[in-house]
Amino acid sequence: MKNIPQLYETEQTAASDKMIYQKYEIRTIGFYWLIAELDRKTNTAFGYANLHDDFNAEWGYISIEELLDNGAQLIQDWKPCKFSEAMKMIKEAQGQ
């Protein structure tokens, strides 16, 4: 978590080029969150949320506690990569 940029540090970076440092998911229902920035004091993250709906998926802010309280799990073996690469891996894993 130390290497995740603070909130707003990457706002000048194009979405496809943002580094994704963590992935949380609720695998049974197909929800996932890709974390690009983090405020360590409030545990608020900025990232991409997909609630099993590619059309309505979006970038925004989320509380890490809220994710965990609702059953999301941190993917321990996630390797930081650009958003465009993360989406390619996710689509391949989904067979798309």
Does the pLDDT value for residue 1 go beyond 80?
no
- Name the nearest CA neighbour of 38 among 53, 15, 16, 19: 19
Q: What is the pLDDT of residue 93?
A: 86
- Name the nearest CA neighbour of 33 among 88, 4, 73: 73
Instruction: Give the global pTM.
Output: 0.94
The one-letter amino acid code at 37 reads E
Percent of the chain with pLDDT over 90: 90
Torsion of CA 55, 59, 65, 71, to 10 degrees: 20
